[in-house]
Amino acid sequence: MNDKRTRPLQMDEPIVTGNTKAAVKAAGGKSADLWMLPYDEIHYDPRDNVRPLDIAWAERLGKLIATDGYDKSQPLHCYVRKVDGKDLVYVWKGQHRYHGIGFAIDSGADVGLIPVVIIEAKSVNRVNLIFGGLTSNESKSTSPLELAEKIAELRDVHGIDNKTIRERLQITDQTIRDVALLEGAPTALHKLVRGGTVAATLAIEEIRKHGAEKALERLQKGADEAKAAGKAKVTKKHLAKPDATPAPASKKISEPQAKQLLQALQSVLHDPMFGKLSPGTIDGVHIALGPLADLLDAKPSAKKEYPVNVPNENGVYTFEKLASPRLKIGRTVNAPAEIHLAQTAPGKWIFGTSYYMGTGGGSTPCSLRDGDLTYPTRGQAIRAAVQYFTRRLEDPRLGETKEAPSVRKWLDGLYAAPDPDWTEDLANAEAK
């Protein structure tokens, strides 16, 4: 699957702000110059932070806190979110200190009440949380890959233009273009960058020169060369010099490649837009597939009609469920990932997700609020859900679980499936 970001992402559930005083009172806290809260009454949502949690860094902070106590001059930055009618305090800046406090407490340290600064409700939205996290001077510096992912979210999910991003982050257009190259690269290249094997600047340079797929190939070979030389990081000297004259590609097609080509041609034959191709192309497909008619699957059935789903009192729609293959992990057998699809009106589709992988889980509701994206066909909603899951799997906490390979294979199959509801009008609208 080509996992480049070709469509906007599904928007995360909007933040419903809560009452600060009510949340602090319910948590048993008190205020001086700062709010002082028990650790157990401070909540955490990884979506509110601009980077994945670095467990090793949080553990290091936990050891320092256990030894020296918590520095009260470094409050956690929080906001109040209303959840199931309750006003709860959530941390949005200082996630590593937050988890470090947890590690210190687990080791037996008594840290007392935690100092908290709570931002005004009117300032709480996903856009400001992202900008605040990226410009924070109290956090670890943002890597180019993290910057790329969050610029993509600001642009594709929240509709923020490049000019605003450039001004609020104090970066150049060239930086935006560079990190966009990195953000659109294959997941395997992201993993090399995240792991510190390849510097983001080197990865961007290679992508600019050779394209994402070729850059990945060169960097993977460079990693092997560096490892053989006893080095942990790839440098330019580990990269092969491009051949002056590229070797001719092999003319022999393997059996798996032949099968893929046959399936691709069959998808073209059964695509609703097949009749709009040029006469020569149509004849070419018929000639190629004619002698293989007995090997082809039956033509897909007529276009399926899907009902319009209805929401409950909480705005969550009834949905169709697509589940990944069931796996046995330990003593349990379940589907680690699901995509939920709902048609809110004719030609308007949304999706939700749920997953349980490793020791973590999560879900997004199948709901529709002002500003949320909809998709014109069921197939396009599925592809958007696949892209959403693909991004989630870039987090090592999910991407390195035992369930991840099976989920990725399932997502690849969904992404590559043809869309029987795609029409000429939709294609023309997409091109505008």
- Give the pLDDT score at 139: 46
Separation CA 351–CA 61 (nearest Å): 38
Tokens 């795609």 sit on residue? 422
Enter the tokens of residue 405: 């390979």
Instruction: Look at residue 276 and tell me if it is in a domain.
Output: yes
Separation CA 83–CA 226 (nearest Å): 50
Same domain? For 203 and 271 the reply is: no
Instruction: Look at residue 250 and tell me if it is in a domain.
Output: no
Same domain? For 424 and 329 the reply is: yes
Q: What is the CATH number of the domain that holds 62?
A: 3.90.1530.10
Instruction: Look at residue 7 and tell me if it is in a domain.
Output: no
Residue closest to 352 by CA, chosen among 337, 367, 362: 367
Same domain? For 165 and 106 the reply is: no
Same domain? For 27 and 127 the reply is: yes
Q: For all residues of the chain together, what is the average pLDDT?
A: 79
Residue 202 in contact with residue 209, Cβ under 8 Å?
no
The torsion angle over the Cα atoms of residues 67, 72, 75 and 76, rounded to 10 degrees, is 30
- Give the pLDDT score at 10: 45
Q: Is the pLDDT of residue 356 over 60?
A: yes
Same domain? For 67 and 162 the reply is: no
Q: Is the pLDDT of residue 138 over 50?
A: no
Same domain? For 30 and 96 the reply is: yes
**131-135, 293-297, 337-341, 425-429: least confidently modelled range:** 293-297
Instruction: Look at residue 300 and tell me if it is in a domain.
Output: no
Enter the tokens of residue 119: 């931002």
How many domains does one find in the chain?
4
Same domain? For 27 and 112 the reply is: yes
Domain end call among 65, 98, 131? 131
SS3 167: helix
Separation CA 27–CA 20 (nearest Å): 11
Quote the longest CA-to-CA distance of the chain. Answer: 83
Same domain? For 220 and 174 the reply is: yes
Same domain? For 223 and 326 the reply is: no
Residue 93 in contact with residue 119, Cβ under 8 Å?
no
Instruction: Tell me what the mean pLDDT of segment 175-193 comes to.
Output: 86
Instruction: Look at residue 159 and tell me if it is in a domain.
Output: yes
Same domain? For 45 and 124 the reply is: yes
Same domain? For 96 and 172 the reply is: no
Residue 86 in contact with residue 26, Cβ under 8 Å?
yes
Enter the tokens of residue 295: 């090997």
Instruction: Look at residue 302 and tell me if it is in a domain.
Output: no
User: Which structural domain, as residue segments, surrounds residue 259?
Assistant: 255-295
Instruction: Look at residue 249 and tell me if it is in a domain.
Output: no
Radius of gyration of the chain, Cα coordinates, nearest whole angstrom:
25
What are the backbone angles phi and psi of residue 30, rounded to the nearest 5°?
A: -145, 165
pLDDT digits (tens, 9 = 90+) for 283-318: 666 666 666 655 554 454 456 788 999 988 888 899
Whether pTM > 0.75 for this model: the answer is no
Same domain? For 349 and 418 the reply is: yes
Residue 320 in contact with residue 302, Cβ under 8 Å?
no
Q: Beta strands 320-323 and 337-345: pairing type?
A: antiparallel
Domain end call among 69, 98, 131? 131
Enter the tokens of residue 190: 């992201």
Separation CA 351–CA 367 (nearest Å): 8
Q: What is the CATH number of the domain that holds 169?
A: 1.10.10
pLDDT band at 100 (very low <50, low <70, confident <90, very high): very high
pLDDT digits (tens, 9 = 90+) for 201-250: 898 889 888 888 889 999 999 999 888 888 888 988 888 776 544 545 55
Separation CA 219–CA 207 (nearest Å): 10
Residue 94 in contact with residue 139, Cβ under 8 Å?
yes
Q: Is the pLDDT of residue 401 over 80?
A: yes
Q: Is the pLDDT of residue 260 over 80?
A: no
Domain end call among 85, 107, 131? 131
Instruction: Look at residue 248 and tell me if it is in a domain.
Output: no
